[in-house]
Amino acid sequence: MFERFKKKSKKEVEVQSPLTGKAVPLSEVPDEAFAGGYMGRGVAIEPSEGRLVAPFDGTVAHVINTKHAVMMEDNATGLQYLFHIGINTVGLKGKGFTSHVEVGDSVKAGQTLIEFDIEAIKAAGYPIVTPIIVTNADELASEVEGHTGNVTAGRDFVLSISLKS
């Protein structure tokens, strides 16, 4: 009789790290658009390896033409993510980045999205810290929590997300 009064459980989503390195709060990113949360909520990673992998099965929504960033959509939840390798790296005009995906590609967790040359990026004077942003969190999520510390791509979780009912 009281079934309709039961509180519905929130759907929780955990996102694996797309990079190996050290996860840090977005507030530590040396770019106000990311640090201030203007691009969305999330976490950032100081990569120790130059390989960005898909953290879940999904669809490639956008690849920036200079190959330094990619957007993916999680088909199961509708959440969209921006993976932005480095800060101001658009200035490299694609040098040091190799994309392995195109818009519309279906990808599996662990699949390589972009390879990048960490040393070349650093040598050009750009920070390599990589924001991982949930771009539509305000629409679909009630909470986005970033986890910090050392992470391994495809093994450790960097985001916990509570979806709105």
**What type of residue sits at position 146?**
G
- Select which of 62, 84, 100, 147 is catalytic: 84
47 vs 63: CA distance, rounded Å: 20
Known catalytic membership, residue 84? yes
**What type of residue sits at position 20?**
T
Residue 121's CB is within 10 A of a number of other CB atoms, namely 23
SS3 99: strand
Active-site residues, by number, are 84
